[in-house]
Amino acid sequence: MGKCILIIGGARSGKSRLAMELARKSGKPVLFVATATAGDDEMAQRIAMHRKERPAGWSTIEVTTDVGKHIKQNIGGARLVIVDCITLLVNNIFNECGYQTTPQAEALLEERVASEINSLVECVRGAEASFIVVTNEIGLGLVPAEKASRLYRDLLGKANQMLAKCADEVYLMVAGISVKVTPASPEL
C-alpha cells in the first residue's frame, strides 16, 4: 500500500491544482478518476478544460459512483491515483436517489454514501499505489435553509471524516496555499 493524501478546501481554493502538481512531481504513472458529470454547458466546459490540463500520459476514467470498484478494474500499471472529487461523488449519489428527505430516504442516502466511501477506503488500503483524494469543505458557512442541503452537507462531512481517518496526510487549501492539517488528534 502506498501513501494516501486527502486535499480538502473550498471551491476554487487550488485543490485540484495541488493534486496534479504532486502527481507530476512524483513521476509515477497516474490514473485520474473524474467524478464530474456535465449537467449543463458551463460544467461541460469545465470538464473539457480539466481534460486539457491533464498530461497525455495519464490514464483517465470518468465514473459517477462505484469508484473503488472502477479503480480496481482500471488501475493497470498506475502507481498514483487521483480521485477528483468526493464532493461530486456524493452529489452523484444524491442524484441517483432523488434528493428525498423522508427518514427512509435519508437512511438510504447515508448507507449509500458510507458504502461508497468504505469501498474507496478498502481500495486505497489494498492497492499497490498511492492516492490523492480531493474533496470540498462545505461545513464552514451558514447552516443551509433547505433540509436536502443540510443533509448533503452532513453526509459530505461524514465522508470527509472517513477519508481523513484513512489518510496519511491531510491538507487544507486556502486561497491557493496548502496547510498541513494532520496529525488530526491533538496531544494533551
Q: Which of 50, 69, 79, 158 is catalytic?
A: 50
8 A C-beta contact, residue 114 and residue 162: yes
Edge-to-edge strands, sheet with 130-136 = 59-62, 30-34, 80-84, 130-136, 4-9, 169-174, 177-180
CB atoms within 10 A of CB 106: 17
**CA dist., res. 119 & res. 9, Å (int):** 23
Of 38, 37, 147, 39, give the one whose Cα is nearest residue 99. Answer: 147
- Is 50 marked active-site? yes
The residues that are catalytic are 50
